[in-house]
């Protein structure tokens, strides 16, 4: 978010740089000309945002190429800049797919942390299992086959972890 705000200064800083170059060209050859230092716009934006220049370039790319859901996830700190930037090389559909896979993995790990010492997920009750199976059966008739399964297999099947 800070980098995105700092990037709003980019046009202003580029204009200042052009003024500097113009002033330097007008004073060329004068013995008392002032030393005008070049303006590194990217460095100034990074300093304003309190980050490195690499992240400024990455955020610029993300704002141009990333799916809006990924941009929102960055704003809410659910995603890191580098990962979002690497996804910008993918199509927007593949970006979303990668994002959903990441979220799914995170929620599974979070559920695994909730598992109590007996190895049973707190929300994994018989009634919830039966309700989930009934919902699944209505949308996918004749797809059940019964057999032994571990608590972890049931949890992942029902999307509870």
Output the pLDDT for position 158: 63
Per residue in 6-27, pLDDT (tens digit) is 888 888 888 887 887 776 655 5
pLDDT value for 92:
92
Distance (Å, whole) CA 121 – CA 157? 13
Check if the beta carbon of residue 27 is closer than 8 Å to that of residue 50: no
Indicate whether this model's pTM tops 0.75: no
In this predicted structure, what is the pLDDT of residue 29?
54
Q: How far apart are CA 69 and CA 92, in angstroms?
A: 10
pLDDT for res 161: 47
pLDDT over 90, % of the chain: 28
pLDDT: which is higher, 55 or 6: 55
């Amino acid at each position: 978010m800070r980098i995105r705000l700092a990037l709003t200064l980019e046009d202003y800083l580029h204009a200042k740089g052009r003024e500097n170059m113009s002033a330097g060209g007008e004073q060329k050859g004068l013995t008392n000309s002032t030393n005008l230092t070049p303006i590194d716009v990217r460095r100034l934006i990074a300093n304003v945002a309190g980050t490195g220049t690499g992240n400024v370039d990455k955020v610029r790319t993300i704002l141009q190429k990333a799916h809006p859901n990924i941009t929102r996830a960055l704003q809410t700190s659910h995603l890191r800049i580098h990962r979002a930037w690497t996804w910008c090389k993918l199509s927007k559909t593949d970006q979303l797919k990668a994002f959903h896979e990441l979220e799914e993995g995170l929620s599974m790990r979070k559920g695994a942390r909730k598992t109590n010492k007996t190895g049973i997920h707190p929300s994994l009750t018989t009634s919830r299992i039966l309700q989930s199976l009934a919902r699944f059966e209505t949308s996918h008739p004749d797809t059940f086959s019964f057999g032994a399964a571990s608590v972890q297999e049931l949890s992942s099947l029902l999307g509870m972890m």
